Amino acid sequence: MKLAAQEGLIPGRDLKEKLDNAAKFGFQGIEFWGGGIENRVEEIIKATENHEVKPSTICAGFGGCLLDPNRSERERAMNDIKKLLKAAADIGAVGLIVVPIFGGPRIPDLSPYKSAIELERELLILQLKELGDYAAEVGAYILLEPLNRYETHFLRRLRDAVEICKAVDKPYVRIMADFFHMNIEEPVIADSIREAGEYIKHVHLADSTRLLPGHGHTDFKSGFKALKEVGFDGYMALECGVPGDPFEELPKTVKYLRECMEG
């Protein structure tokens, strides 16, 4: 398993300095925000092609919403996601993190015909079949991210996302496991990871406090053990607050996480 951090967490005046600092801190990967990244592809390739720190993933950054009742908003999301998948492939990243919807449902409840969630599920599966074909064509994964109950009504547990993947049945549609959200939604994080198994292609790291691992009560040791058991060998990227000087806190966090992996 490889450690990464989101670009915004790493200090530096430019991308090269950020990459150099990331390497000094002990990271192997860097996760980029998706907004406007299509204009940075050449910059990222040039900076990372001969660097020990590589692009891990692209995090969201698309417009529209896959589950909006307005067709133009859905099409906007579909088109943006395809552009970001292409960018992910171009820079050598694993793929694009996708949250289908934030907040409550936007599609009206049509019960007794079908509930809003039933309609959302069917719509998402159809969209992901198309996106999954495109993802395979360019060679970058769609990484569905379950969120906690305070951020979405839809896809809140790993098993929810795995069920969607199975229904879509496309090899480039997989999931991301986020320790912050799992700490809220999963009864036992390690058990949920084992159940999701090979569908996990990326991981986000944050403690129960939304701060750096080690600043809360999340049990990373058992979670990492479960990831090893299911054969996960990808990137685990920090997505959290840094309480203090990053030049001091980030190396300490890398040391803590490596101890958790070894333990």
pLDDT at 195 over 90: yes
pLDDT at 101 over 80: yes
Q: Give the tens place of pLDDT for each residue, 12-62.
A: 999 999 999 999 999 999 999 999 999 999 999 999 999 999 999 999 999
**Quick one: tokens of 157?**
């547990």
CATH code, 186: 3.20.20.150
Residues 132 and 173 sit within 8 Å (Cβ to Cβ): yes
Q: Rounded to whole angstroms, how far apart are CA atoms 157 and 38? A: 31
Q: Give the tens place of pLDDT for each residue, 114-145.
A: 999 999 999 999 999 999 999 999 999 999 99
User: What is the span of the domain harbouring residue 97?
Assistant: 2-262
* Rama region for 61: left / alpha / beta (φ>0; ψ in -120 to 50; rest): left
pTM listed for this prediction: 0.97
Residues 10/179/164/125 CA torsion (nearest 10 deg): -30
Picking from 23, 73, 76, 25, the residue whose alpha carbon sits closest to that of residue 51 is 23
Q: Give the tens place of pLDDT for each residue, 155-174.
A: 999 999 999 999 999 999 99
For the chain, strand residue ranges (E) read 2-6, 29-33, 54-59, 95-98, 141-144, 173-178, 200-205, 235-238
pLDDT at 263 over 80: no
Instruction: Give the total number of structural domains in the chain.
Output: 1
Q: Give the tens place of pLDDT for each residue, 71-96.
A: 999 999 999 999 999 999 999 999 99
Q: Rounded to whole angstroms, how far apart are CA atoms 157 and 160? A: 5
Q: Give the tens place of pLDDT for each residue, 206-238.
A: 999 999 999 999 999 999 999 999 999 999 999
The confidence score (pLDDT) of residue 23 equals 98
Show Cβ contacts of residue 262 under 8 Å, excluding neighbours closer than 6 positions. none
Residues 98 and 59 sit within 8 Å (Cβ to Cβ): no
pLDDT at 150 over 80: yes
Show Cβ contacts of residue 192 under 8 Å, excluding neighbours closer than 6 positions. 157, 158, 159, 177, 182, 186
The confidence score (pLDDT) of residue 75 equals 98
Q: Is the dihedral of CA 141, 146, 147, 153 positive or negative?
A: positive
